[in-house]
A = this chain, B = another copy of it.
Amino acid sequence: METRIAGATREVIIGDERPTVLIGERINATARKSIAEAARTGNWEVVRREAVAQVQAGADIIDINMNVFGADEVALLPAAVRAVMDAVDVPLCLDSTNPRALDAALKVCKGRPLINSVTGEESSLKGILPLVKQYGAAVIGLTQDEAGVAGNADTRMAVARKIIERARSVGIPPEHVVIDCLALSLGADPASAQATLEAIRRVKADLGVNLTLGASNVSFGLPDRKALDRTFLSICMAAGVNCPIVDAAAVRQTVLAADLILGRDKRARRYIGVYRERAKR
């Protein structure tokens, strides 16, 4: 199954036979104070620079989260989309749960963006899916619902199936739905990574859709986060994740290695090519 995401001029195809697509996570006002501050003060140059840096580091799609406490996301999200489109031509991932902010951003966003995200909750399905359909976008479905983040693989699988079915019922094909099986902090619950891995394998085997993952939650609160993040990402890629949300600069080398090992980089062209580019700098 192939998911096609597009910017103004560039298309990115997510699929199991292809190199892994990296969604750059760093323009995130919820997670990063410097981005929240830039958004609040209208300093879009910070956002533009962050977009360029991520694309140079290997990001294929740029996630934009403008959920700034006390500020108006309906105004900020389209403004940030414009800023990023000024700086780079890769496709965007609009990161919001607010239908009005998404609608405003979709109006100005060129190409076919990814919307991040819908959940299995009724209010989310009703608020987000009509926008996905209206703008011909693709959407990330989180495997959580009214009961919270499902603890085991069975319930995560059931939520994924529900989201895909509901999307289909409003005219959104399964290839426009990318599932996130949700990585939780290993520090809070050491068994959580296994539930995530099992959910990934089952969603891939039974539903065949493309899979994203915010892979850096897993190391929250633990020492040596980089080793944990890259190891977890390697294992999740082997299990079926093919468009993770990541800090591209931190994980690019791991992703290139995993793609080579998993047969997504025939003749090692990308692996060797990127190494040569780096050696030149």
Contact = CB atoms under 8 A, between A and B. Distances in A.
Contact of A222 (B197, B222, B231, B272): B272
A234 B197 CA distance: 13
Interface string A238-281: 11000000000000011011101111011110011001000100
A235 interface: yes
Given A231-B234, A234-B234, A224 B275 contact: yes
Contacts of A267: 190
A44 interface: no
A171 interface: no
Contacts of A223: 271-272, 275, 279
How many A residues are at the interface, by size bracket? 35 or more
A173 interface: no
Contacts of A79: none
Nearest to A263: B194
A187 interface: yes
A228 interface: yes
Interface string A77-109: 000000000000000000000000000000000
Contact of A224 (B194, B197, B222, B253): B253
A254 B222 CA distance: 14
Interface in A159-180: none
19 contacts: A190-B265, A190-B268, A191-B263, A193-B263, A194-B263, A218-B261, A222-B268, A222-B271, A222-B272, A223-B272, A224-B275, A227-B254, A230-B230, A231-B257, A234-B235, A235-B237, A235-B238, A235-B258, A238-B238
